[in-house]
Every structure is written in C-alpha cells, then in structure tokens.
C-alpha cells in the first residue's frame, strides 16, 4: 500500500535544506491568477520556503469537489 500513500502525498511534508530533514509544511496562497493559483510551502520549523505548487482551475474544481464544497449558485427556475 506504499504506492497509495505516495499518491496521497500532497506536500504536507517536504525536505528542508535548513533543517536538513523532511519537515511538515504550511501552505500559503502566494498568487492568484485568472487560470491558476500558486501556493508557497513554508517549513514549520524555520519558516523558509521549501517548495511551490501551481493549481490550475481544473485541479481547483477537483479539490473543491473532493473537499465536499459546492459552489454557491442561485439557480432559480421560474
């Protein structure tokens, strides 16, 4: 089942050069673009940036769907 664990790896822990080990990271929204969002990952130990991730609009929709969120839409049929 190690392969499944690898797939579930969503940068909750990354290698930090300063701490010289894999550290839990904090996700910070760095930049919002029309078609994607860029997240910065900060080491919780020393606070340095250890990685970045770009989430495209399609992935964001997927993430929201998996999180159980539904977009609020006032769809009234008359």
The residues of the shown chain that bind Zn ion, judged by CB under 5 A, are 16, 18-19, 23, 43, 45-46
Q: How far is the CB of 55 from Zn ion (least distance, A)?
A: 23
What contacts 5, CB < 8 A, 6 or more positions away? none
Q: Between 18 and 60, whose beta carbon lies closer to Zn ion? A: 18
Residue found under tokens 């609020």: 72
Q: How far is the CB of 73 from Zn ion (least distance, A)?
A: 42
Q: Between 12 and 64, whose beta carbon lies closer to Zn ion? A: 12
Q: How far is the CB of 47 from Zn ion (least distance, A)?
A: 7
Helix H, strand E, coil C: the string for 49-75 is EEEEEEEEHHHHHHHHHHCCCCCCCCC
């Amino acid at each position: 089942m190690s392969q499944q664990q690898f797939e579930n790896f969503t940068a909750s822990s990354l290698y930090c050069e300063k701490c010289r080990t894999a550290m839990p990271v904090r996700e910070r929204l760095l930049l919002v673009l029309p078609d994607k969002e860029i997240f910065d990952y900060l080491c919780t130990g020393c606070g340095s940036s250890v990685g970045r991730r770009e989430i495209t609009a399609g992935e964001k929709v997927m993430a929201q769907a998996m999180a159980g969120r539904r977009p609020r839409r006032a769809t009234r049929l008359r």
